[in-house]
Amino acid sequence: MITGIGIDVTEINRMMKHIHDEAFISRILTPEERKQYSPLGTKRKAEFLAGRFSAKEAYAKAKGTGLGANLSFQDLTVLNNSLGCPVLKDRTSPGTVIHVSITHTGTVAASVAIIESQSC
């Protein structure tokens, strides 16, 4: 059963301004995500940052908490599985089934997050 759904759109140009801002990057990306981010080229860094920002915002909306006192960017990690699909993990809610999709155009990154409950 679906217990939450969230969507977010983030402008890539907004993130382009921050691709060399270590304080911003460290606030948004977890250490595991920063390992994937570091070797990327300029354009791809902006897309990656916008995509992760968007996915985390979409999930926070699905969870109903938003990002703030009860949930931070550092609580959430979005890594790709072996097929390249994004997988979001919430360290504050281990075992939560989360479905996330991220897409990009030339100007925006958009994400949808769905939280699934195993109970009927």
**Catalytic annotation, residues:** 61, 104
CA 43 to centroid of chain Cα atoms: 18
CA 15 to centroid of chain Cα atoms: 13
Between the alpha carbon of residue 120 and those of residues 1, 2, 11, the distances in Å are 6, 10, 38
Amino acid at the residue 81: N
- 32 assigned ligand-binding residue: no
**Among 44, 43, 62, which Cα is nearest to 100's?**
62
> CB-side exposure of 93: number of CA atoms within 13 Å?
17
- 57 assigned ligand-binding residue: yes
Binding residues for Mg(2+): 8, 57
